[in-house]
Amino acid sequence: MRGTLDRYARFRAMNAELLATLDGESLGFTPGPGMGAMWQQFRHLGRIEDNYVAGIATGVLEFGAPRRRASGTTASALADYLRDLDEDLRAAVAGAGPEHTIAWPGEQVGLVEHLGRLANHELLHQGELVVYVRLLGRPFPRSWRVWGL
Strands 107-110 and 101-104: antiparallel
CA angle 106, 112, 113 (to 5 degrees): 35
CATH of the domain at 111: 1.20.120.450
This prediction has a pTM of 0.94
Contact 81, 46 (CB under 8 A): yes
Contact 4, 56 (CB under 8 A): no
The secondary structure of residue 142, as a DSSP letter, is G
For 59-89, letters b (16+ CB in 10 Å) and e give: eebeeeebeeebeebbbeebbebbeebbebb
Beta-strand ranges (E) seen in 27-144 are 101-104, 107-110
Q: Which domain holds residue 24?
A: 2-147
The model's pLDDT over 17-70, given as tens digits with 9 standing for 90+, comes to 999 999 999 999 999 999 999 999 999 999 999 999 999 999 999 998 888 889
Number of helices (H), then strands (E), belonging to the chain: the values are 5, 2
Number of domains in the chain: 1
Q: Give the integer Cα–Cα distance in Å for 64 and 118.
A: 15
The model's pLDDT over 75-133, given as tens digits with 9 standing for 90+, comes to 999 999 999 999 999 999 999 988 999 999 999 999 999 999 999 999 999 999 999 99
- Comparing C-alpha atoms, which of 43, 64, 40 is closest to residue 52? 64
